[in-house]
Amino acid sequence: MFVGLTNYLDSIRARDPAPRSRWEIIFYPGVIALGFHRMAHWLYVGRLYLLARMVNHLSRTLTAIDIHPGARIGRHLFIDHGFVTIGETAEIGDNVTIYPCVTLGGTNPTNGKAGKRHPTLLNDVIVGSGAQILGPITVGNRARIGANAVVTDEVPDGATMVGVKARSTLVAAETWQQDFVPYGTPCKDPCEPGLSRVEELEEELASLKSQVEALRSLLIAEASGDDEHRRSEVGG
C-alpha cells in the first residue's frame, strides 16, 4: 500500500512542477477527493448507496470536486485543482490528467433508460481547463482535450481536440510523442485550426476592397472626362 501511494505521488510530481515534496501533494484537493472516492466507490459497489453519497458530499464540500461514487477510476488520476465534476457512469483509465472546471457529463438517453450516459477516458488522456466531455463517448489513449473544448463525439487515439464543437487539430510529431503535455493543448496560441484560413480570407477581402475602390475612382475619372468632352463639343 505504501509503495502504491508513493508511486501515485511521484506520478503527480512528474506532471506538476509546483510541489517540493510528496507531503505537499498529499494535501492536494485532487488527491484528497480521489481518496474519498475510493471509499465511496467501495460502499457503492457494496450497495450501501446512502453511505456512499454521504462520503461523496463530504468530499465535495472539502475539495470542490464532485466524483459520483459509481464512477470507475483507474490508477494515478491527477486532478489539478478543483471544480471538476465526474458523472456516475464515467470511466477513467490510468495516468489521466484533468485540469480545473472540467465536466465529464451525461446526455439524455434516447432509450429512456439510465444506462451508460457518461464518457470513457482511456489511458494517458489529458483534459484542459474548462473542457466539457459529454455523453457515452470514448476518448482514446493519449488524446488531448484543449481548454474549453466541448467534446460530444468519439475521440481517436492520440488526437488533440480544440474548439466548440471540438474537432481534431494537427500537431508536430515531436510534440505528439511527448509522454506528457501540460494543459492538454500542445499548440501555439491561437490554436484554432481554422483561424489561419480566416486571416487569409480577411486579407483577401481587404485586397478586393482596395481593387473595388480603385475601379470606382477610375470610373468616376472616366465619367468626368466624358462630361468635359461633351461640353467642349457643345461649346465648339
Name residues whose C-beta falls within 8 Å of residue 103's C-beta, 6 or more positions apart in sequence: 84, 85, 131, 132, 133, 134
Residue ending a domain, among 188, 206, 222, is 188
Residue ending a domain, among 150, 165, 188, is 188
CATH number of the domain bearing residue 175: 2.160.10.10
| Residues belonging to the chain | 236
Whether residue 67 sits in one domain with residue 165: yes
Query: Is the pTM here over 0.85, yes or no?
Result: no
Evaluate if residue 198 carries a pLDDT over 60.
yes
Whether residue 90 sits in one domain with residue 172: yes
At 8, is the pLDDT very low, low, confident or very high (cuts 50, 70, 90)? very high
Whether residue 63 sits in one domain with residue 166: yes
Whether residue 47 sits in one domain with residue 160: yes
* Better-scored residue on pLDDT, 109 or 94: 94
CA 53 – CA 14 distance, rounded (Å) = 32
Residue (of 101, 96, 188, 181) closest to 149 by Cα position: 101
- Residue 162 domain boundaries: 2-188
Question: In the chain, what is the straight-line distance between the N-terminal and C-terminal CA atoms, in Å?
Answer: 111
Whether residue 112 sits in one domain with residue 7: yes
DSSP reduced 3-state for 57: helix
Whether residue 86 sits in one domain with residue 199: no
Whether residue 27 sits in one domain with residue 8: yes
Whether residue 205 sits in one domain with residue 145: no
The total domain count for the chain is 2
The reported pLDDT for the residue numbered 178 is 65
Whether residue 179 sits in one domain with residue 205: no
Among all chains, which residue has been given the C-alpha cell 461514487?
69
Whether residue 209 sits in one domain with residue 139: no
Whether residue 180 sits in one domain with residue 227: no
Compute the average pLDDT of residues 118-126. Answer: 96
pLDDT tens sequence across 129-180:
999 999 999 999 999 999 999 999 999 999 999 888 877 775 655 565 566 7
Whether residue 200 sits in one domain with residue 176: no
Residue 156 CB neighbours (<10 A):
12
DSSP reduced 3-state for 155: strand
Helix axes 29-45, 49-63, angle to 10 degrees: 170
At 202, is the pLDDT very low, low, confident or very high (cuts 50, 70, 90)? confident
